[in-house]
Structure 1
């Protein structure tokens, strides 16, 4: 038979159990399986997840220790070069859909532990990698070296509060393993994140990822975390529920695959760091005491009884979210004062109304709940009217949504 031969490398020397346990924890904190597992029952870590980008669709790679299709032949140095520098074995540059700009801040000990875990505790899967569907000139990998030279952060992780170990740990988890900025920081003209730590004014101020708007994580009291305490943030990351908010969209998988497994100390460290971030990119407001009804600033002074948005809300939404917009604790999210409702970008709100969604299913949180989609029940204009009503009711102060906004996103989503 004329096929190429692939010898199996000798087994790696045994690694201390504590190192392997640390590696498993790092893999969960970094959500390696979440990205490198195909949907619909794909083998863990064997790749195949399609990731959209402005340049085309990129398929995640096989990172099991299979010697032919996975990383079984990678040395620690080659693994380091791929994870922290974005260069695969053989010198091929990786697309920044992999968050190696964040992983460049990973510590040496965490990198070694992750390598040991993947090599010795993950089952090898002989699954070929699928090519990226990226148009010219972005399919020319050599151009990515220029991207890395211009945009990659340098110098590794540096704490700006060495006297506060909890802040330092939280900053490390957010900026590195958790790669929160990959979704929650807006991108620039070169698809680069507009900041990789708290010194950048756009860091964690919200960004579009896979047609979801990842929320502002700074201290803005409207669409950010300014009204959430550290314990609430930690609880949200553990269960997907806190303070009337419920996780949705891409954050559901992040919580299910990653943050629910972090220690309470690490979750509180993340919360401590995030609450230290000053308000940036303010959007929306919540003033229930002074504006009990719809905000007059939204340009719609029609009484509720004559408002199309109110009628649609009462007909399709109030049964779950309540006439007062307060939802049901640990079951249905509150809409009154909800940071996602107040966000300037309405992508997530519209998408949830169009196709629905579900809350996370975690080990310690409430049972999963499902929100239905309304694409086949009401028109684009009615969806827009309902969202406009919600964004101006119960003390919410946010700009209206138009029927064109809904139609544009539905065209992108093919819904």
Structure 2
């Protein structure tokens, strides 16, 4: 069973130099928690409405995803993230004054969040997307600060130093990186656009930091574009052992065939008639986007659907063809891909490749099946996916792992069969690529 959709890399294998959540932004706070810094805990009484608003914003930013280790205490940090220079570990962002951020003033919190500068003045690794959080407005930063200081329980848990070796762990070059790539101007509404579009743009570009995974990176590990003004913005990106999907209007691998309502449905429930969430996008749905208001989901959808087509393969718009389906099903009995599909995939994804959406994802026309880069297909076939939990109810049909059931050749053959069948017309998958990804992801199994 292959649940295919827009995906993000797993939290532990995050984007080579960019983490995926507002929590990741607070990865900046890796500097935060050295016991040597002076404690300047907030003294003003908590405003319950402000704290509640901050809690909502923290949900929207999915802070908990990056700042919670497996089986760890929420927001206490410790999640390993792999970068090209070595592993870093997310930090304790609870208000504990010794090991967390309890000693941070609001201005210091804002400096770490939006400018990549820690309390003691050292620069933060751009593994946290502070170029995105630089767009946050002062009132939202204030609300987030109120929540983390007054709405989160303090946890005394020391931070783990990074595994980045000397001299790569020196921080002074980050000042140069910031000078070249960081724009600290908060988001300003576009007068030519309506309030809904601007709200969606603000959430996508800033708090949601969608580009940190879905926008390709340049030689300096910077996002090639931070808003719709750049051609590469949200056009899809290879990230470690995944391919973060195209979110532009591209008709095959992007959102060109999705309606505004279908985008909102996916963010709310993790599934629609086109695809089902897998990989760490499941965590985004479970912990973040399903909690957004309908108005915010509609705003995000409006903004994403306004983006012009970018990226993709250049193939003609996908059209489902029943004849192609029948041709795929009558392949010779010695066709390995067809045999594997019939044995392991057909009962969930159907003889016609359309699955039982939104319960079970389609193969026919699925954006991730049509994508030239097959990393996400290979990864989810090998390793499966966590279960969506919507409204407290777990999905009955999460994607299982086949790493132990199928060898590299069998997985390559069945994915090639899927990518060729039902008029999908996507490139073949090679066994060598499966073997490479099997080795790379072995530690996650």
Q: TM-score, normalised by structure 1?
A: 0.92
CA distance in 2, matches of 1:6, 1:393: 60
Determine if the alignment matches structure 1 residue 412 to structure 2 residue 440: yes
Give the secondary-structure state (helix, strand or coil) at the position aligned to 2:87: strand
Within-5 A mapping of 1:218-367: 218-283=248-313, 285-289=317-321, 292-293=324-325, 303=331, 305-363=333-391, 367=395
RMSD, aligned CA: 2.3
Give the secondary-structure state (helix, strand or coil) at the position aligned to 1:52: strand
- Maintained 8 Å contact 2:249/2:305: yes
Determine if the alignment matches structure 1 residue 48 to structure 2 residue 59: no
- Maintained 8 Å contact 2:76/2:91: yes
- Candidates 20, 38, 44, aligned match of 1:13: 44
- Maintained 8 Å contact 1:358/1:369: no
Cα deviation, 1:317-337, whole Å, max 9, x if unaligned, reads 112111111112232111111
Determine if the alignment matches structure 1 residue 39 to structure 2 residue 67: no
Q: Provide closer, same or farther for how the CA distance between residues 7 and 172 of structure 1 changes in structure 2, counting only shifts above 3 A.
A: closer
* Unmatched 5+ stretches in structure 1: none
Give the secondary-structure state (helix, strand or coil) at the position aligned to 1:134: coil
Give the secondary-structure state (helix, strand or coil) at the position aligned to 2:420: coil
Give how far 1:374 is off. Answer: 1.7
Cα deviation, 1:20-63, whole Å, max 9, x if unaligned, reads 111111111111111111111x1111111111122211111111
- Higher mean C-alpha deviation, range 99-108 or range 372-381: 372-381
- Maintained 8 Å contact 1:294/1:396: no
Match of 1:149 in 2: 179
Q: Provide closer, same or farther for how the CA distance between residues 325 and 365 of structure 1 changes in structure 2, counting only shifts above 3 A.
A: farther
Give how far 1:186 is off. Answer: 1.2
Match of 2:421 in 1: 393
Determine if the alignment matches structure 1 residue 402 to structure 2 residue 433: no
Match of 1:30 in 2: 61
Give how far 1:123 is off. Answer: 0.8
- Higher mean C-alpha deviation, range 112-121 or range 11-20: 11-20
